[in-house]
Structure 1
Amino acid sequence: MRIIDHDGIVVQHLDEVGPVIATSADTSDLIGNAWAAQADLVAVPVSRLDPEFFRLRSGMAGEILQKAVNYHLQIAVVGDISEHLAASEALRAFVAESNRGQHAWFVPDEAALEAQIARIRRV
């Protein structure tokens, strides 16, 4: 895990390898660890999310993202989700809408995450 301060926005970057986030308890642990690190945003690698996260009907994405928002924590899913996007029009719409907001983003890499952080600073 790395903590990086992006001009006042503290980002907790989870390691690529580690426990998969698959349950409400996992989400609570994620949020608790972010709070302990005094992070404003958690960058979660795609590899750390249960594949069900990308199947919107499972409700997992909504639950995880809403819980983060409820605790005033931004979240970014970092990595290639092109296979998931190709398989689901609903997911494509969800990702596009999320990326327009300020709370949850889907970005291909850390450079794109930095661009999103810069965008919200201008808003």
Structure 2
Amino acid sequence: MNIEHLKNNGTDIAVISSERKLIADTQSALELAMTVKYEAGTTNIVISKSAVDEEFFILSSGMAGEILQKFINYHVRIAIYGDYSHYTSKPLKDFIFESNNGNDFFFVATKEEAIKKLTGTQ
């Protein structure tokens, strides 16, 4: 895992890159958040969709809800970038839409969009 620390529009952001899945369950998501907090000094995370287990995007698994609730509790904001066009689930599409209209969790196409969402410069 590589952590790139950025400061954009007064907001500290950690851009995470990894060859392996970093978010595979609630515990690994919390470990990632705490690692980023202590190594980069921020709770704003940009990460590729490829580093998130596919089960996260199956809402009936409950993984997304559990992880996002933990992130809310620990004041973690995250933007996950990647291709979401192949998903056909209406609940997932609604979840992504609602998240993108909030302030804490974003699902966007590119790393640049993810950074903009977390810094409020979109």
Mark yes or no: TM-score above 0.5: yes
TM-score, scaled relative to structure 2? 0.87
The partner residue of 2:24 within 13, 17, 22 is 22
For residues 21 and 83 of structure 1, the distance between their equivalents in structure 2, rounded to whole angstroms, comes to 20
- Structure (1 or 2) with the greater helix fraction: 1
What's the counterpart of residue 86 of structure 2? 83
The CA deviation string for residues 41-96 of structure 1, in whole angstroms up to 9 with x for no partner, is 11121111111110000011111111111101101111112112xx2000010000
What's the counterpart of residue 69 of structure 1? 72
Amino acid paired to 1:12: A
Distance apart, 1:114 and its partner CA? 3.5
What's the counterpart of residue 45 of structure 2? 42
Aligned-partner SS, 1:75:
strand
Q: Indicate conservation of the 8 Å contact 2:48/2:82, yes or no.
A: yes
Distance apart, 1:111 and its partner CA? 2.4
The alignment of Structure 1 onto Structure 2 pairs a total of residues equal to 119
Which 4+ runs in 1 deviate beyond 3 A?
A: none
For residues 16 and 93 of structure 1, the distance between their equivalents in structure 2, rounded to whole angstroms, comes to 28
Q: CA RMSD in A?
A: 1.8
Identity %: 32
Aligned-partner SS, 1:81:
coil
The unaligned stretches of length 5 or more in structure 2 are: none
Higher relative contact order (CA 8 A, sep 6+): 2
For residues 16 and 82 of structure 1, the distance between their equivalents in structure 2, rounded to whole angstroms, comes to 22
For residues 21 and 98 of structure 1, the distance between their equivalents in structure 2, rounded to whole angstroms, comes to 18
Q: Indicate conservation of the 8 Å contact 2:22/2:29, yes or no.
A: no
TM-score, scaled relative to structure 1? 0.87
